[in-house]
Amino acid sequence: METKVAQPPQGLRPARKVREGVVVSDKMNKTRVVKVSWTTTHPRYHKVLRRSGSFYAHDEKNDAHAGDRVEIMETRPLSKLKRWRITRILGKNA
C-alpha cells in the first residue's frame, strides 16, 4: 500500500524569528554583538527570572554602534557564528 505525504506549498517560507536587543560590541567589521533579554517564570517556585543571550548579527552598512537598540531577524548562516541580521535601528545611543 502506498502512503501519500502532503507537500508544503511552494514559494512560502516559515516565519523568521525576530528579536529586539541592545548592541554591546561593534568592534568587528559588518558584525555586531546584540544582547537580547527576556523574562521567564521558574516552573516550580514561580519566581520571575531575567535571562539574556548574545547573538552575532550582520550589519551590512556598519550603522549600529554600542548602546543602540536594534531589531534582529533570523537568517541563513552567514559565518561560523552569525545567523542573525540587523533589520532596523530602533534607538540611537545618545
Nearest-5° Cα angle at 86, 83 to 30:
80
Cell triple for 79? 559565518
According to the model, what pLDDT value does residue 3 have? 60
For the entire predicted model, the pTM comes to 0.83
Closest by Cα among 15, 6, 9, 16 to 72? 16
**Residue pLDDT, tens place only, 9-65:** 677 777 889 999 999 999 999 999 999 999 999 999 999 999 999 999 999 999 999
Domain 18-91 has CATH 2.30.30.30: no
Q: What is the 3-state secondary structure (H, E, C) of 36-91?
A: EEEEEECCCCCCEEEEEEEEEEECCCCCCCCCCEEEEEECCCCCCCCCEEEEEEEE
